[in-house]
């Protein structure tokens, strides 16, 4: 997210190199990353940096898959959400054209609708995404931060139009859960629910999670969990987390990532330092048993 803004090119290149060397494949970005940290007031820095890295590493495009998002980029610098691009057919086409130009690629492997857009008929958005797949500009499409009913509605419309449906979901999810019915502080975030998982498993959709290690809150005392996570269930889960991490001789972050993967969820990790990406990749070696999963479920 912060490549090209808070994370300078040399450090970002090193992180990307380490990621690929460790067997990593997917790079997830967005056309709006990171307008809030860019003096220009607009997004695009992350996509441009990925492009610079690809140009500096001939042949690397064949080794990685790139996912990006449209919907949230500012059309007017320093004006959001008023100038967010939206999900009209024109906005989607223009957004994707720019998201190909910045990294210098001819297609993306997965295109996300970053958030809902109630000002545009869903038929229009679905048709625009389907057209991109037909043209092989995007190989797959999916929604981020959409309610399950919206996802199923879009998939139904895609079937009616004869275009490629959404086949992946991206939502916020982690081991600890916020208090029910309390909004999160981060604008635009939507939590994964049991209904989302039910839909995904019933329809064969892949599920991708973000903010899974809670910005370091599991391992750093200087990064406390947000207030909405302050409830008895969190304390119980964190106690089990420490026990399991000790039993497996891994970090709490690695347990959280392994817990997600054990459920068939693909977690994203936003790394800003080399050791973060190395530890995240090592989470693939953490083996959680059914008994571990049961202990976490009971603690909640």
Please name the residues in contact with 55: beta carbons below 8 A apart, sequence gap of 6 or more.
Answer: 104
- CATH number of 30's domain: 3.20.20.100
Q: Please give the helix or strand (H or E) that residue 110 lies within, else none.
A: strand 110-113
Evaluate whether residue 49 is within a structural domain: yes
Check whether 185 has a pLDDT greater than 90.
Answer: no
Task: Note if the pTM is more than 0.85.
Answer: yes
Evaluate whether residue 135 is within a structural domain: yes
Distances (CA, A) of 290 to 55, 181, 206, 285: 45, 29, 22, 16
Q: Please give the helix or strand (H or E) that residue 285 lies within, else none.
A: none
pLDDT for residue 43: 96
User: How far apart are alpha carbons 23 and 271 in whole angstroms?
Assistant: 15
Evaluate whether residue 153 is within a structural domain: yes
Instruction: Encode pLDDT of 245-289 as tens digits.
Output: 999 999 999 999 999 999 999 999 999 999 999 999 999 999 999
The dihedral over CA atoms of 114, 117, 121, 122, expressed in degrees to the nearest 10, equals 30
Evaluate whether residue 236 is within a structural domain: no
Evaluate whether residue 187 is within a structural domain: no
Check whether 187 has a pLDDT greater than 90.
Answer: no
Cis ω for the linkage preceding 25 (within 30 of 0): no
pLDDT for residue 3: 98
The pair phi, psi for residue 111, each rounded to 5°, is -115, 125
Instruction: Encode pLDDT of 133-147 as tens digits.
Output: 999 999 999 999 999
- Residue 165 · residue 153 · CB < 8 Å: no
| Residue-number span of the structural domain to which 89 is assigned | 9-166
pLDDT for residue 184: 84
Per DSSP, what are the bridge partners of residue 209? Answer: 171, 267
Check whether 181 has a pLDDT greater than 90.
Answer: no
Evaluate whether residue 79 is within a structural domain: yes
Evaluate whether residue 57 is within a structural domain: yes
Q: Average the pLDDT over 29-49 and give the result.
A: 96
- Residue 32 · residue 5 · CB < 8 Å: no
Q: Could you tell me where the beta strands, DSSP code E, fall in 238-285?
A: 265-267
Where does the pLDDT of residue 69 fall: very low under 50, low under 70, confident under 90, or very high at 90 and above?
A: very high
Report the chain's mean pLDDT, rounded to a whole number. 96
What's the number of domains the chain is made of?
1
pLDDT for residue 151: 98
Check whether 199 has a pLDDT greater than 90.
Answer: yes
Evaluate whether residue 220 is within a structural domain: no
């Amino acid at each position: 997210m912060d490549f090209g803004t808070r994370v300078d090119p040399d450090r970002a290149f090193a992180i990307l190199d380490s990621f690929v060397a460790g067997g990593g494949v997917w790079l997830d970005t967005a056309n709006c990353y990171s307008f809030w940290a860019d003096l220009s007031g607009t997004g695009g820095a992350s996509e441009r940096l990925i492009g610079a890295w690809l140009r500096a590493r001939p042949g690397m495009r064949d080794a990685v898959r790139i996912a990006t998002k449209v919907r949230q980029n500012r059309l007017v610098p320093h004006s959001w959400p008023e100038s967010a691009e939206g999900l009209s057919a024109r906005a989607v086409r223009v957004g994707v054209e720019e998201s190909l130009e910045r990294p210098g690629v001819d297609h993306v492997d997965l295109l996300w609708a970053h958030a809902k857009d109630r000002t545009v008929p869903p038929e229009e958005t679905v048709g625009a995404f389907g057209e991109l797949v037909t043209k092989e500009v995007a190989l797959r499409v999916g929604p981020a931060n959409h309610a399950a009913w919206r996802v199923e509605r879009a998939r139904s419309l895609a079937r009616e139009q004869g275009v490629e449906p959404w086949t992946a979901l991206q939502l916020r999810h982690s081991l600890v859960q916020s208090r029910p019915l309390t909004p999160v502080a981060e604008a635009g975030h939507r939590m994964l629910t049991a209904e989302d998982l039910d839909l995904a498993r019933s329809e064969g959709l892949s599920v991708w999670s973000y903010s899974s290690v809670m910005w370091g809150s599991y391992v750093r005392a200087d990064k406390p969990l947000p207030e909405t996570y302050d409830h008895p269930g969190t304390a119980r889960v964190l106690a089990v987390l420490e026990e399991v991490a000790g039993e497996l001789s891994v970090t709490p972050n690695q347990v959280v990532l392994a817990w997600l993967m054990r459920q068939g969820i693909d977690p994203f990790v936003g790394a800003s330092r080399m050791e973060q990406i190395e530890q995240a990749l090592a989470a693939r070696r953490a083996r959680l048993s059914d008994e571990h999963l049961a202990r976490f479920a009971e603690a909640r």
